[in-house]
Chains A and B, each alone.
Chain A
């Protein structure tokens, strides 16, 4: 799957999807984060973990919608998956143009110039270095790829809220899972 067809696919899908107000989106996520912060009582790792779990539940559900709506061709390698994820999926759901950087046969990076979640947000001093606001995306990617039998680990490498100029998510392939429907359905 060539790069340009992934992005044109993404652009057409973005034009077709119903849109939501960006402020509403950002404010909703913001209040979700403040609730999690309040519940966690200062433990930043727990906050990040909670947000990632929320992203995971979003990811496992939205991957089906994505595959149904887009007619993305079969991905032959992780590189293709990276292109489809960055150019088509992110564009379709969020309207962001991502740059994809392949770091190794099992690792790639998604680079975002701007992030709709960050509208109006400024982190307070005690969370500035540690709270990973966009870790939601990491959870979404992990959940979506897990449904496709890729077990990945996603980390937020660069963060605009911390002062970097872009957001960077590093995705590392850990394992390709066996095609199974889970232990409940295994025949003895």
Chain B
């Protein structure tokens, strides 16, 4: 149930920010030999700018494999939320809460989604334990993670020098610190529950 990747998407589902926790959580190899995919070969060109300043980044770039999985789940996300429209859509006000739940299962992960009232989406790539989907108790931790990430994003937009609805790029050290803290808190909570069940 560990967190492998976190993605922030804008209102047209474009990527704003992608990161992985800094511990070597995603070094576990899947059954296939995808060492060719795991290198930092940036297919979509999204992380090019970030690569230059990667020494200043506090969070890690996710491997290309994880990035592709997030990309693949966008279809399902669009099904749930409706295609991104140009004008104001009232569908979002009927939705009720920000939490979207499990969007789709991919290989050994599951992707959970969260949307905000301004159509900014947060996706979390979480490793699945066993075949049984997560019960309500374990989803609470993910909800807490999403709320914390949402908070970080709001504080980031309050900085007058940032581009609204644009890619999140440095100066963003406060934002990255907040994200790291939220991911750490989630991983600690998950590790704690793991101890209890074993």
* A interface residues (Cβ-Cβ under 8 A, vs B): 23, 26-27, 30-31, 33-34, 119-125, 127-128
Contacts and interface: CB of A to CB of B under 8 A. Distances in A.
A122 B171 contact: yes
Interface string B162-198: 0000000011111000000000000000000000000
A27 B171 contact: no
Contact of B155 (A30, A33, A120, A124): A120
Given A122-B173, A128-B171, 13 more contacts: A23-B158, A27-B158, A30-B160, A34-B160, A34-B161, A119-B158, A120-B174, A122-B159, A122-B172, A122-B174, A124-B171, A125-B170, A127-B161
Contacts of B159: 30, 120-122
Contacts of B170: 124-125
Nearest to A31: B160
B158 A123 contact: no
Contacts of A120: 155, 158-159, 174
Instruction: Identify whether the interface residues of A are mostly helix, strand, loop, or mixed.
Output: helix
B53 to A, nearest CB: 9
B155 A121 contact: no
Contacts of B171: 122-125, 128
17 contacts: A26-B158, A27-B158, A27-B160, A30-B158, A30-B159, A34-B161, A119-B158, A120-B158, A120-B159, A122-B159, A122-B171, A122-B172, A122-B173, A122-B174, A123-B161, A123-B171, A128-B171
A174 to B, nearest CB: 33
Contacts of A121: 159-161
Listed from nearest, the 8 A-B pairs whose CB atoms lie closest are: A30-B160, A120-B158, A122-B171, A34-B160, A124-B161, A120-B159, A122-B159, A124-B171
